[in-house]
Amino acid sequence: MIQVKENNTVKVNYTGKLADGQVFDSSEGREPLEFTLGQGQLIPGFEKGVIDMKLNEKKTITIAKEEAYGDVNEQLIQEVEKAHLPQDMAPEVGMGLVSKDPDGNEINLLVVEVKEESIVVDGNHPLAGKELTFDLEVIEIKETQNA
């Protein structure tokens, strides 16, 4: 029976949960996730968890934050004066914002606090600092053809 190896392209059904059981992402009701191992398309712990799985195998993996989105970077949490925001904006906690760094790259921010004269935004990935659990099922394995 074939097993998932480095450089294989695989399709998996998955459900991602936080430590408290809250589902944060799932392929249920959608197309399965298709990716090629070893190309850095997914977090390292997810790829490592799929290696050596067999076709139609199901398993649950737990990924430490270091193998997922890393620790929360406090430098990515900043206070911004409301005067720097568009005048017609009414910021609310949970609102997503997009900013640009000096090189013109877009940065996704989340409003985490609204104060009288400023807001606090967080540029960390929403899953940073969290251990993740995934229920996985491999539904297709495409072996890499050697040229």
Number of domains in the chain: 2
Residue 37 lies in a domain: yes
Looking at the fold, whether 83 and 100 belong to one and the same domain comes out as: yes
DSSP string, 80-97: EEGGGS-TT----TT-EE
Residue 4 lies in a domain: no
pTM over 0.85, yes/no: no
Looking at the fold, whether 61 and 17 belong to one and the same domain comes out as: yes
Looking at the fold, whether 109 and 87 belong to one and the same domain comes out as: yes
Looking at the fold, whether 113 and 99 belong to one and the same domain comes out as: yes
**Which tens digit of pLDDT belongs to each residue from 78-133?**
999 999 998 899 999 999 999 888 898 898 999 999 999 999 999 999 999 999 99
Residue 1 lies in a domain: no
Q: Which domain holds residue 84?
A: 74-122
Four-residue CA torsion sign, 24, 28, 30, 34? positive
